[in-house]
Structure 1
């Protein structure tokens, strides 16, 4: 069972889901669970394994869900007596640890052209869960993206409209044309997402924003989009543009300043 629990946790993390491992580190006296017992807890409230069941397990599951929400490990201790917090009569005491596993960040690339390929390579290098979306079969296949986690072919706007995106998702819109970019943006603007960027000249971006506002899209939501996308560090080559985009994504992900490290004052002894 322990092997199944660890494999399921690994599988969930690989899919970009949140997961936690609960371990009983100490048991004094009588308890439904034994020291060393483990249980996998997932953000959808499903579990695998057990630490003894009952109110103890119920409380620990809730604690694990809270720990996953804030992304922090935590310890727990419960007294299993009538006067204890769990109102149990086993008479023992249990201690344990909840390990929260950081999920893989998801990179969603809307557009499988040259820039999409370079973004995909950088995403895989950074161990991100990569998703490629395009409306052309020849631009979204295993030959072009051999290690992509998902390849989705069809109407890009419709796919994005129905695709699950959350605070662990980073979207880059680089379709084959201005209209495709705008349709993709319309499908995601206003949704809770870690990062959404769209390629385009400043003129094209302004035109897209105006069109979308005319269609009822909120201006404040549009201002949260990173567009034109990326940091100003490239010479215009697709590989360098992709690097500038990924640098911006990392800046957002890690709350970086984007400043040169040499600007940090160092005392030389």
Structure 2
């Protein structure tokens, strides 16, 4: 059974879904399941395997779903007696660990020009699964995009519309002109991406948003777009612009702040 559970974990990650693996690490006295028992818990609460049944398993499933939602791992400890809180009186104790498995974070870069290349370089160093979208096939070579994970160069707008985008997706729109940027934004609006950013001046951004607003996209959807893109830390240099973009993405991804660590964690002299 263990191999089936582990395959389920792998298949969910491959499909871009998060899943939790629950393991009993210690079992003392009389308990429903013993040390080493495992169970996979999906985002919707569906399970494979068992770590006890009844109240204890239901409680663990709820905790595993919380861990998936919060992106955290967690130890658990249940007393199965009168001192416990789940209404089971087997007499023993159970300890375990919930491990959340998440798919690789995807960095989807629309545009293979100067900015896109630098965003790709930094994103690769940061461990993102990189996807580059551009119909200029001549740009896809080892000089500009060595070891890129995915390339979309045909029917780019339609493929971007149908591409699987979820909360593990971070999208950077920096194509060759306003029209291409508009097409890309139109293709990804309303999807469950954690981040959508578009390059351009405030004037251009307003023009694109107003155009899509007239097409029926909601104001709320458009306001979620980070545009103009990036943190205000760079010059006009493409490398620095890319750092500003990835800095903004990391800020969102890691729920960070723009405060200096020296101000948050001052060392006392």
How high is the TM-score relative to the length of structure 2?
0.78
Mark the CA change 1:131 to 1:53 in structure 2 (over 3 Å): closer, same or farther.
Answer: farther
- Provide the aligned C-alpha RMSD in A: 3.6
Cα distance in 2 for residues equivalent to 1:50 and 1:194: 32
Contact (CA 8 Å) 2:55, 2:86: kept in 1 or not?
Answer: no
Between the two proteins, the alignment pairs up a number of residues equal to 267
Residues 5 and 40 in structure 1, CA contact (< 8 A), matched pair in contact too: yes
- TM-superposed deviation, 1:238: 1.6
Deviates more, 1:67-76 or 1:36-45: 36-45
Whether the 8 Å contact between 1:110 and 1:134 is mirrored in structure 2 is yes
Match for residue 198 of structure 2? 198
1:69 — aligned with what?
69
Q: Residue deviations 1:67-100, cap 9 Å, x none?
A: 21222324153749xxx9588x977653322123
Secondary structure of the equivalent of 1:203? helix
Looking at structure 1, the residues matched to 126 and 11 of structure 2 have their Cα atoms a distance apart, in angstroms, of: 18
Equivalent pair of 2:75/2:95 in contact (CA under 8 Å):
no
Structure 2 partner of 1:177? 177
Match of 2:21 in 1: 21
1:38-84 Cα offsets, whole Å, 9 max, x none, are 3444446676665467886566445423321222324153749xxx9
- CA contact under 8 A between 1:134 and 1:155: conserved in structure 2? no
SS of residue in 2 equivalent to 1:148:
coil
Q: Compute the displacement of 1:229 (Å).
A: 0.9
Please show how residues 214-253 of structure 1 align to structure 2 within 5 Å.
214-253=214-253
Say whether the 8 Å CA contact 1:14–1:104 is kept in structure 2: no
* 203-212 or 230-239: bigger deviation: 230-239
What is residue 167 of structure 2 aligned with on the other side?
167
Deviation at 1:199, TM superposition (A): 0.9
Deviation at residue 143 of structure 1 after TM alignment: 7.0
Conserved? CA contact 1:15–1:104, under 8 Å: no
1:16/1:139 CA distance change after superposition, 3 Å: farther
Unaligned runs of at least 5 residues, structure 1 = none
Shift of 1:155: 2.9
- Pairing of 1:114-153 with structure 2 (within 5 A): 114-140=114-140, 144-153=144-153
CA contact (8 A) 1:14 1:129 kept: no
Partners in 1 of 2:254 and 2:60 — Cα distance? 30
Question: What is the Cα deviation at residue 197 of structure 1?
Answer: 0.5
Please give the alpha-carbon distance, in whole angstroms, between the structure 2 residues aligned to 1:143 and 1:16: 29
Gaps of 5+ in 2: none
Correspondence list, 1:8-47, <5 A: 17-31=17-31, 33-43=33-43
Q: Quick check: 1:109–1:133 contact (8 Å CA) kept in 2?
A: yes
Q: Shift of residue 105 of structure 1?
A: 2.4
